[in-house]
Amino acid sequence: MTESLRLRVDRRDSLAVIYTEGYINNQGGEEIASAAYKLIADGDKVLLLNLDGTKIVNSIGISILIEIIEKMLEIDGRLAFCCLTPTIEKTFHIMGLAQYAGIYPDEPAALEALAAGGTPTAGSAG
Amino acid sequence: MTESLRLRVDRRDSLAVIYTEGYINNQGGEEIASAAYKLIADGDKVLLLNLDGTKIVNSIGISILIEIIEKMLEIDGRLAFCCLTPTIEKTFHIMGLAQYAGIYPDEPAALEALAAGGTPTAGSAG
Amino acid sequence: MAGQAILREVKLTLPMAPDMEIAASKTATAMAELMTMSPDKIDEVRMAVVEACINAIEHSRAHDRKVYLTFEVLGEQVPELLRITVRDAGVGFAPGEVEEPSIERKLTAERKRGWGLKIIRGLMDEVEIESGRDGTSIVMTKARG
Amino acid sequence: MAGQAILREVKLTLPMAPDMEIAASKTATAMAELMTMSPDKIDEVRMAVVEACINAIEHSRAHDRKVYLTFEVLGEQVPELLRITVRDAGVGFAPGEVEEPSIERKLTAERKRGWGLKIIRGLMDEVEIESGRDGTSIVMTKARG
Ligand SMILES: Nc1ncnc2c1ncn2[C@@H]1O[C@H](COP(=O)(O)OP(=O)(O)O)[C@@H](O)[C@H]1O
Ligand SMILES: Nc1ncnc2c1ncn2[C@@H]1O[C@H](COP(=O)(O)OP(=O)(O)O)[C@@H](O)[C@H]1O
């Protein structure tokens, strides 16, 4: 019954940023994944997920994000997150996601780290 | 169990402003009333209640505000409100409070009207 | 309203204790948000529920010290109406005999209270009260749009 | 925990329907706020409750299609602990036989899911699961301070 997750994609020179707004549940995760796969199909290899507008997620939604990480490992790309609530960040750490995707407090920090090639996705920290 | 209402009082030249933060229930109403009576005892005759930090009230809390209006009628003073949520404003209209106390969208509007002597309390609109 | 199906039914039982009306108001908010009611209407529902709970807590003298709430989302296919029932197993009262409050009288009266039912009626679309020896049920509805 | 009194008990019954976990999370928030838990802890409780409800909705196959929640505020005098029970009358499962998920394996596995219980355990202070032919109860607690 609720409104679904809203997404905004911002393609830049060297990466694409996906902004989310709302609940990342099953449906929300699927929407993020299809946006990500579209960007990957269009040649993007570096993605930043800015979750500033997301205050609640569930494990089904996050599972779908793991698929994106798997895809990134295959194409030697990178996925990073920024602007997580403390609970979402804690959850990513509980799951071990933080080993395969960079987690940054805000977008400038994420952009800087990604520009420096600093985010492990390809198992470098795994 | 919850935290109680927080109040801040700002005495100015020609009036005093009471800022509230939190739930105006029985207790919250009593706290506002005692702050108001203290100001009145100290000579203030024009009071502005800025409810910007209050998103929820109940009818018991509002009943106590009616006591302040009664007091104001006695001393020929004026009470006004600003920064009400739409529901609180609607409730004040349902109760007819709006006839005895000025209701203004924001503090500048309230100050201007109060300076012009524009708020009915003493039954002028009653 | 007749002919509409119950799309969702949520039940909440609260102890008659300070601030418990806030828990009720949060559930009301959740249900109203789920059916994508507008924020202003949600807030009105929230306040009406607070008032109904306070009445049960304050006046019912129910032995079990509990307030029973039911939240129903009604609609033919999509959510159209939120119906909330606030019930207590208390002593009951005669709604018809409750004096309609007026600000003019309250300003000089000793007892300034007596606004809850008027506020509930003003904020909700429809309000029905059933009260008797088994307690009181107040059923209130608000349309989504 | 033993010896502590139940200061408040709130019960919530939800239908097994999409988004109903949100209603549960709001009640959890209300209860945690009433006992003035810190916002970060409240958010953790909220997420744990969401996961427990989703499990009941998704896996229980309960005939009555309902999730039963109990929120208890425990303490000697002041609120110290929030205890939340999420119960279903479903088929049950053997918690000991659920494989502990690991990100390394999930990255290559077909099924990426299986994180709910791990997340609940990571976010709450104590978690106990009772499951059998009458259904499943997951009891989780979080201290206020
Ligand atoms: N649930 C209830 N059980 C018993 N009496 C009630 C209940 N709700 C309302 N009443 C009666 O109706 C009167 C008016 O209620 P209300 O308009 O809410 O104002 P107030 O609660 O301030 O008195 C109450 O004073 C009480 O006598
Ligand atoms: N309430 C429940 N009723 C029946 N089975 C359950 C319940 N909760 C959990 N389970 C079982 O435990 C498994 C692990 O649950 P969980 O860790 O939450 O991950 P997921 O729900 O993603 O599978 C589920 O796949 C299911 O088999």
How many H helices and E strands in chain D? 4, 5
- What is the C-alpha separation between B89 and B104, in angstroms, rounded? 10
CB < 8 Å to D67, chain C: none
CB < 8 Å to C6, chain A: none
pLDDT in tens, C13-58: 999 999 999 999 999 999 999 999 999 999 999 999 999 999 999 9
Using a CB–CB cut-off of 8 Å, the residues of C that contact A are 7-8, 33-36, 73, 79
- CB atoms C26 and D22 under 8 Å: no
Give residue A120's pLDDT. Answer: 56
DSSP code string of C96-123 = GGSPPP-HHHHHHSS-----HHHHHHHH
Which tokens hold the place of D145? 């301070």
Pairing mode, strands B102-104 and C5-15: unpaired
- Predicted confidence band at B117 (pLDDT cuts at 50, 70, 90)? confident
Give residue A2's pLDDT. Answer: 60
CB < 8 Å to D21, chain A: 58
- Predicted confidence band at D2 (pLDDT cuts at 50, 70, 90)? low
Which tokens hold the place of A26? 């099953």
Q: Which amino acid is at C145?
A: G
Nearest chain D Cα distance for residue B126, angstroms: 40
ipTM of the complex: 0.90
Select from C55, C91, C100, C138 the residue to mutate for testing ligand 1; criterion: most ligand atoms less than 8 Å from CB.
C55
From D80, which residue of chain B is nearest by alpha-carbon distance? B1
Give residue B4's pLDDT. Answer: 80
- Cβ burial of A55 (10 Å; 0-12, 13-18, 19+) is middle
Under 8 Å CB-to-CB from C31, ≥6 apart: which residues? C8, C10, C71, C73, C82, D23
Q: How far is the CA of D142 from the centre of ligand 2 (A)?
A: 21
Under 8 Å CB-to-CB from C84, ≥6 apart: which residues? C28, C45, C48, C49, C52, C69, C70, C71, C72, C139, C140, C141
Q: What is the pTM of this model?
A: 0.92
pLDDT exceeds cutoff 70 at C2: no
Place of tokens 């995707």: A101
C22 in contact with D at a CB cutoff of 8 Å? yes
Nearest chain D Cα distance for residue B29, angstroms: 19
Q: Whole-number mean pLDDT of chain B?
A: 91
- CB atoms D29 and C29 under 8 Å: no
